[in-house]
């Protein structure tokens, strides 16, 4: 019995080799040895019975009895001692398991063999006394006690059984006994084999089950320790019986501390509309139903930590509820990134303001109260003036910083009165819930305009932009957010139209304006086909010789029987609708044909709009028009506005080169109105600079800086060998000044208004192209305050209004409400004193109007002057 009975076929578990190396067997054997004193006692009883019971005489006469039994008991005594010794900790036997196991097994087998021999030798005589029953009971008892003891370790039991059978056979010394014993031994061996096999199987299964369990436990531990998740279990009262140590640590407590505490203690109770998951948890716990992935906040002091928890009720075999068991994971990081994503989805990355989506949502919410009833709200739409120029000339990083600073100023002004959002580009929206009072809104708009007008310091440079604002108000009448945005948009449009840097409230008339635009656009589509467009020509005069050097072609649109539509009105519409491309081509071809009529010594300039300039086919169109008309290319001059040049893109510069290669002349139009460095002048091959009217008008006024500006432009142009044309010269004073400043050319009413081609040809022929300046002496009078009631006629209606301020070019009129910019008027200062004018801006009941041409104020203040009507004077001036 040295080899293991239990020897695994596949080398699976740890035990391999001798039976005595199986710790389990050794422990069991030890237990047998430790119990062996009972066997000792029972066998001592047998000895006692054999020796002293009557009916068993001659015990001491037969050494085969007394000696053998005594020897057997001696073995038992040794085993008992060994067993008791094994109880003492750290005994030497424990380490020498091989020796110890074999000794035990030997002692068991030997002791049993000897006692068995002795017991079977000593059978009581046939005439049995009552002692004989007791003797039989003691013998059987001794066998049973020993059997019970060895039953603990199966191999020991088999050794015992074999020894008993063998001992019996020897003791009886009878062949029949031996034969019977042989049969039993055989049975025993078969049994041993089968049992061994069975044991091997169960042991393997056990070991596997244990190792699976252990492995699962280890995995769980690793899982817990890695902080990837945690586990919990409660009893039937909802009190924790287990919680992963990692979570306990996060909660700042020992797991033992939490045991016995309600599970819900580890969850933070929140109030608000977000706590539905917690309610679900409470419900599940009390209704004993499973729950899955509920998001709850951990009761971690001073920290925001989120968990996702799942759990299911557990019950015993009888189906009785025993508590909950479940798991949890940490959601904090996920929540954080969710929030970041949310932030990205709702806020503008550059400025941190609400983005278009979010501000639209906020506006919608501001327009309704919590029960869905409409409530008052105002919307401001703000657009930066000249932002594109900053972006293009100073670069996008500067543009970005500018936007950030703008956002900061806006947020500071608006404060908690409302919400600021960036719609994209340089467009911002401000939602002001509950504010509808015009004064308050005007104050806010003013504050924004003033604040944004102050320079921004970016990378050591001072950057200036302005802003225009459109305001739309919903008084709580259930205006939709889309309608409010559209209204604010129209108001913004009006603000920009009014010269920027101002705010405008939405007025219903603006809608008419917008639809008017649409109507114009539609009519413009047919204008070419209907032959409604024509060109007029305004002379450009050489200052030194006072001779006409050429003309500027200006477009006119006579729409049916209606009044002439100003190009300043329809050209922008043509631009937006891209109609400018076919119209522009028609202009170029017509102008070239006109040049052919003027003769080889004259030029005509045409205006080229930015859209046309961006059109790749422009140079080809020009070349074909020039050759079709049979003129020299340098007779055609293209006036390109400064705005085009703000974008110093390679394509842009390339277009300049291509145009230059066609041989036409290039003029920089409206110089000074743009917003850019003068540096680009060096890069573009201009032949001429046209100084904008806004610098020229009233330049002779001593208080104005314009003269200095013109002088420096002229200096620059001379250095670059370019001509200069001063536009819009109306008075002799201005002309004298312009001449004095060294401008090479002059264009203005003083030398002639735009005229038909026939008139232009006639003018050229008349005096060899020599012209005489005709106009007022000066327009020096600046504003004067008045208080005069006049009649105003507009759109077929007559109104009464008060003139508050007067200048040679315009007036401030009070008493007309919400007049859209661009509205035309006839102002009747007296029976003969009628002036055409146009609204430039309006604010509630005040309108700023610009006269169609300069007038002398004295005429207006004093009524008629020396019997001449203003109209007559103006006509004479022209």
Nearer to ligand C2E, 163 or 605 (CB): 605
Angle 705-710-716 (CA atoms, 0-180°, nearest 5)?
A: 130
Residue 150 CA to residue 347 CA, distance in Å, equals 82
Task: Quickly list DSSP for 506-518.
Answer: --HHHHHHHHHHH
The kind and range of the H/E element at 805 are: strand 797-806
Residue 730 CA to residue 779 CA, distance in Å, equals 9
Residue 626 CA to residue 620 CA, distance in Å, equals 10
Taking CB under 6 A as the binding criterion, the range among 71-79, 336-344, 371-379, 725-733 that sits at the site for ligand C2E is 725-733
Write down the least CB distance from residue 723 to ligand C2E, Å: 16
CB neighbour list of residue 481: distance below 8 Å, 6 or more residues apart: 360, 363, 364, 367
Taking CB under 6 A as the binding criterion, the range among 170-178, 239-247, 728-736, 785-793 that sits at the site for ligand C2E is 728-736
Query: Given the DSSP bridges, would you call strands 291-297 and 461-463 parallel, antiparallel or unpaired?
Result: unpaired
- Distance of CA 347 to CAs 344, 365, 367, 378, Å? 5, 17, 21, 21
Nearer to Ca ion, 551 or 851 (CB): 551
Residue 219 CA to residue 129 CA, distance in Å, equals 70
Query: Given the DSSP bridges, would you call strands 306-315 and 291-297 parallel, antiparallel or unpaired?
Result: antiparallel
Nearer to Ca ion, 430 or 726 (CB): 726
Choose the contact partner of 498 out of ligand C2E, Ca ion, none; CB within 5 to 8 A by kind.
none
List the structure tokens of 873. Answer: 């004077």
Taking CB under 5 A as the binding criterion, the range among 345-353, 564-572, 595-603, 633-641 that sits at the site for Ca ion is 633-641
Q: Which of 587, 618, 640, 779 binds ligand C2E (CB under 6 A)?
A: 587
Which 711-770 positions form the footprint of Ca ion (CB under 5 A)?
727
Taking CB under 6 A as the binding criterion, the range among 169-177, 523-531, 744-752, 828-836 that sits at the site for ligand C2E is 744-752
Query: Given the DSSP bridges, would you call strands 745-747 and 834-843 parallel, antiparallel or unpaired?
Result: unpaired
Helix, strand, coil share (%) of the chain residues, nearest 5:
50, 20, 30
For tokens 């390109």, name the residue: 640
Task: Annotate each residue in 619-648 with x if it binds ligand C2E (CB under 6 A) or - if it does not, as one string.
Answer: --------------------x---------
| C-beta separation of 82 from 29 below 8 A | no
Nearer to ligand C2E, 175 or 529 (CB): 529
Q: Closest by alpha carbon to 776, among 705, 693, 696, 853?
A: 853
Taking CB under 6 A as the binding criterion, the range among 361-369, 378-386, 566-574, 778-786 that sits at the site for ligand C2E is 566-574
Phi, psi values for residue 367, rounded to 5°:
-80, -10
Which 321-380 positions form the footprint of ligand C2E (CB under 6 A)?
none
Choose the contact partner of 42 out of ligand C2E, Ca ion, none; CB within 5 to 8 A by kind.
none
List the structure tokens of 627. Answer: 């050759």
Q: Please identify the residue of the shown chain whose CB is closest to the bound Ca ion.
A: 639
Choose the contact partner of 609 out of Ca ion, ligand C2E, none; CB within 5 to 8 A by kind.
ligand C2E
Put residue 401 in one of left, alpha, beta given phi > 0 → left and psi -120 to 50 → alpha: alpha
Residue 402 CA to residue 425 CA, distance in Å, equals 11
Residue 428 CA to residue 752 CA, distance in Å, equals 45
Which 528-557 positions form the footprint of ligand C2E (CB under 6 A)?
538, 553-555
Task: Quickly list DSSP for 591-639.
Answer: HHHHHHHH-TT-EEEEEE-HHHHH-TTHHHHHHHHHHHHT--GGGEEEE
Residue 36 CA to residue 84 CA, distance in Å, equals 9
Q: Which of 730, 733, 734, 856 binds ligand C2E (CB under 6 A)?
A: 730
Q: Is 383 in the site for Ca ion (CB under 5 A)?
A: no
Residue 576 CA to residue 569 CA, distance in Å, equals 12
Within 287-353, strands assigned E span 291-297, 306-315, 321-330
| C-beta separation of 647 from 680 below 8 A | no
Q: Which of 413, 458, 571, 859 binds ligand C2E (CB under 6 A)?
A: 571
Write down the least CB distance from residue 704 to ligand C2E, Å: 17
Task: Annotate each residue in 603-622 with x if it binds ligand C2E (CB under 6 A) or - if it does not, as one string.
Answer: ----x-x-------------
Choose the contact partner of 538 out of Ca ion, ligand C2E, none; CB within 5 to 8 A by kind.
ligand C2E
Write down the least CB distance from residue 552 to Ca ion, Å: 6
Nearer to ligand C2E, 69 or 579 (CB): 579
Q: How many residues bind Ca ion (CB under 5 A)?
A: 5
Nearer to ligand C2E, 399 or 728 (CB): 728
- Do you know the residue count of the chain? 878
β-bridge mates for residue 430, sequence order: 380, 420
Task: Annotate each residue in 474-503 with x if it binds ligand C2E (CB under 6 A) or - if it does not, as one string.
Answer: ------------------------------
Angle 780-786-788 (CA atoms, 0-180°, nearest 5)?
A: 125
Nearer to Ca ion, 585 or 727 (CB): 727
List the structure tokens of 529. Answer: 């086909």
Nearer to ligand C2E, 172 or 569 (CB): 569
Q: Which of 607, 676, 706, 823 binds Ca ion (CB under 5 A)?
A: 607
Q: Which of 199, 566, 673, 704 binds ligand C2E (CB under 6 A)?
A: 566
Write down the least CB distance from residue 507 to Ca ion, Å: 31
Residue 334 CA to residue 221 CA, distance in Å, equals 23
Q: Which of 76, 278, 348, 639 binds Ca ion (CB under 5 A)?
A: 639
Q: Closest by alpha carbon to 591, among 621, 557, 620?
A: 621
Number of neighbours of residue 373 by Cβ within 10 angstroms: 10
Nearer to ligand C2E, 673 or 844 (CB): 673
List the structure tokens of 420. Answer: 């600021």
- Distance of CA 493 to CAs 265, 467, 497, 512, 611, Å? 60, 12, 6, 13, 20
Q: How many residues bind ligand C2E (CB under 6 A)?
A: 23
Choose the contact partner of 754 out of ligand C2E, Ca ion, none; CB within 5 to 8 A by kind.
ligand C2E
Write down the least CB distance from residue 361 to ligand C2E, Å: 41
Choose the contact partner of 730 out of Ca ion, ligand C2E, none; CB within 5 to 8 A by kind.
ligand C2E
Write down the least CB distance from residue 575 to ligand C2E, Å: 8
Task: Annotate each residue in 649-688 with x if it binds ligand C2E (CB under 6 A) or - if it does not, as one string.
Answer: --------------------xx------------------
Q: Which of 76, 277, 642, 669 binds Ca ion (CB under 5 A)?
A: 669
CB neighbour list of residue 219: distance below 8 Å, 6 or more residues apart: none
Which 129-188 positions form the footprint of Ca ion (CB under 5 A)?
none
| C-beta separation of 689 from 671 below 8 A | yes
Q: Which of 111, 124, 754, 769 binds ligand C2E (CB under 6 A)?
A: 754
Q: Which of 670, 701, 734, 838 binds Ca ion (CB under 5 A)?
A: 670
Taking CB under 6 A as the binding criterion, the range among 31-39, 347-355, 493-501, 722-730 that sits at the site for ligand C2E is 722-730
Choose the contact partner of 587 out of Ca ion, ligand C2E, none; CB within 5 to 8 A by kind.
ligand C2E
Q: Is 642 in the site for Ca ion (CB under 5 A)?
A: no
Write down the least CB distance from residue 395 to Ca ion, Å: 29
Write down the least CB distance from residue 749 to ligand C2E, Å: 4
Number of neighbours of residue 333 by Cβ within 10 angstroms: 9
List the structure tokens of 203. Answer: 């042991």
Which residues make up the interface to ligand C2E (CB under 6 A)?
538, 553-555, 566-568, 571, 587, 607, 609, 639, 669-670, 727-730, 747-749, 754, 853
Which residues make up the interface to Ca ion (CB under 5 A)?
607, 639, 669-670, 727
């Amino acid at each position: 019995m040295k080899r293991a009975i239990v020897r695994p076929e596949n080398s699976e578990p740890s035990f391999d080799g001798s039976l005595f190396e199986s710790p389990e067997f050794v422990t069991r054997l030890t237990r047998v040895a430790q119990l062996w004193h009972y066997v000792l006692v029972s066998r001592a009883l047998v000895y006692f019975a054999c020796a002293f019971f009557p009916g068993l005489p001659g015990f001491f006469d037969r050494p085969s009895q007394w000696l053998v039994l005594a020897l057997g008991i001696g073995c038992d005594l040794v085993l008992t001692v060994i067993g008791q010794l094994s109880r003492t900790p750290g005994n030497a036997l424990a380490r020498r398991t091989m020796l110890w196991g074999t000794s035990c097994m030997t002692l068991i087998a030997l002791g049993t063999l000897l006692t068995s021999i002795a017991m079977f030798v000593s059978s009581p005589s046939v005439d049995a006394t009552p002692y004989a029953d007791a003797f039989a009971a003691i013998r059987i008892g001794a066998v049973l006690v020993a059997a019970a003891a060895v039953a603990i370790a199966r191999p020991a039991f088999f050794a015992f059984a074999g020894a008993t059978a063998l001992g019996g056979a020897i003791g009886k010394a009878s062949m029949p006994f031996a034969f019977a014993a042989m049969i039993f031994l055989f049975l025993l061996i078969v049994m041993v084999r089968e049992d061994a096999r069975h044991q091997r199987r169960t042991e393997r299964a056990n070991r596997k089950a244990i190792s699976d369990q252990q492995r699962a436990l280890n995995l769980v531990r690793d899982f817990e320790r890695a902080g990837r998740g945690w586990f919990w279990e409660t009893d039937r009262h909802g009190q924790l019986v287990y919680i992963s140590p990692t979570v306990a640590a996060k909660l700042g407590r020992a797991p033992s501390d939490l045991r016995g505490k309600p599970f819900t203690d580890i969850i933070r109770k929140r109030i608000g509309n977000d706590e539905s998951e917690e309610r679900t948890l409470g419900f599940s716990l009390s209704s004993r139903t499973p729950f899955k992935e509920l998001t709850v906040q951990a009761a971690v002091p001073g920290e925001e930590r989120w968990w996702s928890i799942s759990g299911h009720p557990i019950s015993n075999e009888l189906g009785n509820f025993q508590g909950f068991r479940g798991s949890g994971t940490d959601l904090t990081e996920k929540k954080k990134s969710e929030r970041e994503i949310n932030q990205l989805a709702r806020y503008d990355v550059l400025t941190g303001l609400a983005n278009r989506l979010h501000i639209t949502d906020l506006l919608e919410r501001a327009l309704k109260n919590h029960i869905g009833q409409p409530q008052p709200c105002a919307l401001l739409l703000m657009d930066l003036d000249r932002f594109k120029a900053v972006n293009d000339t100073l670069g996008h990083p500067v543009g970005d910083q500018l936007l950030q600073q703008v956002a900061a100023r806006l947020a500071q002004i608006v404060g908690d009165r409302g919400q600021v959002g960036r719609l994209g580009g340089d467009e911002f929206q401000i939602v002001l819930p509950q504010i509808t009072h015009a004064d308050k809104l005007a104050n806010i708009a003013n504050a924004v305009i003033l604040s944004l007008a102050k320079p921004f310091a970016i990378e050591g440079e001072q950057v200036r932009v302005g802003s225009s604002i459109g305001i739309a108000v919903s008084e709580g009448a259930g205006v939709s957010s889309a309608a409010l945005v559209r209204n604010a948009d129209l108001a913004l449009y009006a603000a920009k139209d009014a010269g920027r840097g101002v705010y405008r409230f939405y007025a219903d008339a603006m809608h008419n304006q917008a639809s008017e635009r649409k109507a114009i656009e539609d009519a413009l589509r047919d204008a070419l086909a209907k032959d409604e467009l024509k060109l007029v020509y305004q002379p450009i005069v050489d200052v030194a010789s006072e001779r006409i050097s050429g003309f500027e072609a200006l477009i006119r649109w006579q729409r049916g029987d209606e009044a002439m539509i100003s190009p300043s009105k329809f050209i922008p519409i043509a631009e937006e609708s891209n109609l400018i491309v076919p119209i522009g081509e028609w202009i170029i071809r017509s102008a070239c044909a006109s040049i052919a009529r003027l003769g080889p010594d004259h030029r005509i300039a045409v205006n080229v709009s930015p859209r046309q300039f961006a059109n790749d086919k422009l140079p080809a169109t020009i070349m074909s028009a020039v050759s079709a008309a049979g003129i020299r290319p340098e007779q055609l001059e293209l006036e390109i506005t400064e705005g085009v040049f703000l974008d110093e893109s390679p394509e842009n510069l390339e277009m300049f080169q291509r145009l230059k290669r066609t041989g036409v002349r290039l003029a920089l139009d409206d110089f000074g109105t743009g917003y850019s460095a003068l540096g680009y002048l060096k890069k573009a091959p201009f032949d001429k600079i046209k100084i904008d009217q806004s610098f020229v008008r009233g330049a002779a006024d001593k208080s104005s800086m314009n003269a200095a500006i013109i002088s420096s432009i002229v200096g620059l142009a001379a250095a670059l060998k370019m001509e200069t044309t001063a536009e819009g010269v109306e008075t002799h004073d201005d002309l004298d000044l312009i001449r004095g400043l060294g401008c090479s050319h002059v264009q203005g009413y003083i030398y002639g208004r735009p005229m038909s081609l026939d008139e232009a040809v006639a003018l050229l022929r008349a005096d060899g192209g020599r012209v005489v300046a005709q106009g007022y002496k000066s327009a020096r009078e600046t504003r004067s305050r008045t208080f005069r009631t006049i009649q105003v006629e507009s759109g077929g209606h007559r109104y009464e209004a008060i003139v508050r301020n007067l200048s040679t070019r315009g007036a401030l009129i009070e008493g007309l409400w919400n007049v859209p910019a661009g509205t035309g008027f006839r102002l009747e200062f007296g029976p003969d004193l009628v002036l055409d004018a146009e609204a430039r801006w309006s604010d509630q009941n005040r309108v700023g109007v610009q006269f169609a041409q300069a007038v002398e104020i004295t005429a207006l203040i004093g009524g008629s002057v020396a019997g001449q009507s203003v109209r007559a004077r103006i006509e004479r001036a022209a």
